[in-house]
Amino acid sequence: MPTVEDLPRDIRDRIPGIAQVPGVVPRERPDGKSFIGGKATEYSAPQAKPAERPVAPEEPVPKEVKTPCQRCGVETESKQSFCSACGLDFKRKRATEELGITIDKEMVEQYIFTGYLTAAVKLFGEHVATFKSLQSDDVEKADEIVRLHFKDADSTVTEWQNYRAKVLLAFGWAKLDGVTTGKDFEEKFAWIQKRGAHFVDLASKKYALLSQAISEVLNGDTLKNS
């Protein structure tokens, strides 16, 4: 006698309750469903439990680093650009750094009690200038020389500034590579006048930086222990 299993497959799929018949396997459709009793039924495969992602350990919060201000000594966070107490600019390059010199306590004592200090400053290459810082008397004399020079002549601000810079340089430039530039102002100024314009301009800028460096040290910005 014929059984259900002997029926054609497409007919078996349309018979209700065929899934309960032993030995009959529902036919799968291309979309992942099966025909059971003439209806499409979806079979869901057991889903694997997703693996847990490892949790990275919490990084410790870095402690705020504070350093004392070179000028006033107040502790300030190292990431700040300015001292919160005195306003010192931490990022600005100091004049002593630009000149490549150190002004120690001995030099400051010399400056305070003698009115000047001397420093060897590299101009370019291996050439070194020995500068003497200006005293109040030097500045007054320089201003008088400049005033008399332009007394009866018209001049621009640039001409006046350039001439005054050379006059001040003559008061302060003692030696070049260990050789004196002259025994008095007249000789020193004449020596400077014979040098190249760019060379004198470079020396003037270095000399102005020395004056700035002294101011920074006296303000407590860059003073080093000897």
pLDDT digits (tens, 9 = 90+) for 137-181: 999 999 999 999 998 888 898 899 999 999 999 999 999 999 999
pTM as predicted: 0.59
What are the sequence ranges of the domains in the chain?
4-42, 63-92, 93-218
Class of domain 93-218: alpha beta
pLDDT band at 12 (very low <50, low <70, confident <90, very high): low
Averaged pLDDT of the chain: 78
DSSP assignment of the chain: ---GGGS-HHHHTTSTTGGGSTT--PEEPTTSEEEETTEEEE--PPPPPPPPPPPPPPPPPPPPPEEE-TTT--EEETT-SB-TTT--BSSSPPHHHHHT---BHHHHHHHHHHS--EEEEEEETTEEEEEE---HHHHHHHHHHHHHHTTTS---HHHHHHHHHHHHHHHHEEEETTEES-SSHHHHHHHHHTS-HHHHHHHHHHHHHHHHHHHHHHTTSS-B--
